[in-house]
Amino acid sequence: MQALNRLFLNKELRKRVLITLGLLLVTRILVHIPLAAVSADKLKSFFTGSSNQAFGLLDIFSGGSISRFSVILMGVGPYITASIIIQLLTVIVPSFEALQKEGEYGKNRLNQYTRYITVPLAILQSYAMILLLKSQDVISSWNAQELVSMLVVSTAGTILLMWIGEIITESGIGNGISLIITIGILSGLPATFAQKYSLVVSGGIIDYKELLSFSIFILFSILLIAIIVLMNDAVRRIPVSYARRTRGETLSNSINSFLPIKVNTAGVIPIIFAVSMLMFPQLIGKFFESAKTDWVRNFAIWISSTVSAEKNALVYGILYFLLVIVFTYFYTSIVFNPQQIAENLQKQGGFVPGIRPGSETVTYLSAVISRITFVGSIFLGLVAILPIIIPLWTGDQTLILGGTGILIVVSVVIETMRQVQAQLVMTSYEKY
CATH of the domain at 283: 1.10.3370.10
Residues 22 and 135 in one domain: yes
Q: Which of 403, 353, 348 is nearest to 225 (CA)?
A: 403
**DSSP code string of 195-216:** HHHHHHEETTEE-HHHHHHHHH
Residues 157 and 238 in one domain: no
Considering the chain, what percentage of its residues have pLDDT values greater than 70? 78
Over residues 101-129, the mean pLDDT reads: 86
Residue 381 three-state SS: helix
**DSSP code string of 49-118:** STT-HHHHHHHHHTTTTTTTTBTTTTTTHHHHHHHHHHHHHHHH-HHHHHHHTSHHHHHHHHHHHHHHHH
- Is residue 335 included in any domain, yes or no? yes
Alpha-carbon gap, residue 52 to 42, rounded angstroms:
12
Residues 252 and 173 in one domain: no
- Residue 50, pLDDT score: 43
Mind listing the pLDDT tens digit for each residue in 49-85?
544 555 656 666 666 677 777 888 888 888 888 888 8
Over residues 26-37, the mean pLDDT reads: 82
- Is residue 357 included in any domain, yes or no? yes
Residues 337 and 395 in one domain: yes
Alpha-carbon gap, residue 206 to 192, rounded angstroms:
18
- Is residue 210 included in any domain, yes or no? no
Alpha-carbon gap, residue 43 to 416, rounded angstroms:
34
pLDDT of 421 strictly over 70:
yes
Please state the domain count of the chain.
2
Considering the chain, what percentage of its residues have pLDDT values greater than 90? 4
- Residue 131, pLDDT score: 77
- Residue 119, pLDDT score: 92
Alpha-carbon gap, residue 99 to 94, rounded angstroms:
9
Mind listing the pLDDT tens digit for each residue in 274-300?
776 777 676 666 667 666 777 777 777
Q: How far apart are the first and last CA of the chain?
A: 23
Residues 167 and 244 in one domain: no
Residues 260 and 139 in one domain: no
Alpha-carbon gap, residue 54 to 286, rounded angstroms:
13
In terms of average pLDDT, the best of 196-205, 232-241, 309-318 is 232-241
Q: Using an 8 Å Cβ cutoff, are 62 and 150 in contact?
A: no
Over residues 2-17, the mean pLDDT reads: 77
Residue 39 three-state SS: coil
Over residues 256-265, the mean pLDDT reads: 82
Alpha-carbon gap, residue 133 to 59, rounded angstroms:
13
Alpha-carbon gap, residue 232 to 272, rounded angstroms:
17
List CB contacts of 226: < 8 A, sequence separation 6 or more: none
Over residues 114-134, the mean pLDDT reads: 85
- Is residue 23 included in any domain, yes or no? yes
pLDDT of 432 strictly over 50:
no
Look up the domain containing 40 and give its range: 1-187
Residue 147: burial class (beta carbons within 10 Å; 0-12, 13-18, 19+): middle
Residues 157 and 259 in one domain: no
Over residues 88-112, the mean pLDDT reads: 83
Residues 254 and 391 in one domain: yes
Q: Chain-wide mean pLDDT for the chain?
A: 78
Over residues 7-13, the mean pLDDT reads: 77
Q: Tell me the pTM.
A: 0.76
Alpha-carbon gap, residue 47 to 190, rounded angstroms:
17
Residues 157 and 247 in one domain: no
- Per-residue exposure over 94-120, b if at least 16 CB sit within 10 Å of its own CB, e if not: eebeebbeeeeebeeebeebbeebbbe
Q: Using an 8 Å Cβ cutoff, are 414 and 268 in contact?
A: no
Mind listing the pLDDT tens digit for each residue in 218-240?
888 888 888 888 888 888 888 88
Contacts of the segment 360-365: beta carbons below 8 A, 24+ positions apart:
362/338, 365/238, 365/338, 365/341
Q: Which of 219, 181, 73, 179 is nearest to 405 (CA)?
A: 181
- Ramachandran angles phi, psi of 237, nearest 5°: -95, 115
Residue 209: burial class (beta carbons within 10 Å; 0-12, 13-18, 19+): exposed
pLDDT of 36 strictly over 80:
no
- Number of helical (H) and strand (E) elements in the chain, helices listed first: 18, 5
Q: Which of 280, 33, 38 is nearest to 137 (CA)?
A: 38
Mind listing the pLDDT tens digit for each residue in 362-419?
888 888 888 998 988 898 888 888 777 766 665 555 455 566 777 778 888 888 888 7
- Is residue 420 included in any domain, yes or no? no
Q: Which of 151, 133, 131 is nearest to 43 (CA)?
A: 133
- Is residue 277 included in any domain, yes or no? yes
Residues 148 and 244 in one domain: no
- Residue 25, pLDDT score: 92
Residues 247 and 393 in one domain: yes
Residues 12 and 161 in one domain: yes
Q: Where are the beta strands (DSSP E) in 192-298?
A: 201-202, 205-206, 235-247, 250-262
- Is residue 103 included in any domain, yes or no? yes
pLDDT of 351 strictly over 50:
yes
- Residue 164, pLDDT score: 92
pLDDT of 163 strictly over 80:
yes
Q: Which of 89, 411, 368, 164 is nearest to 269 (CA)?
A: 411
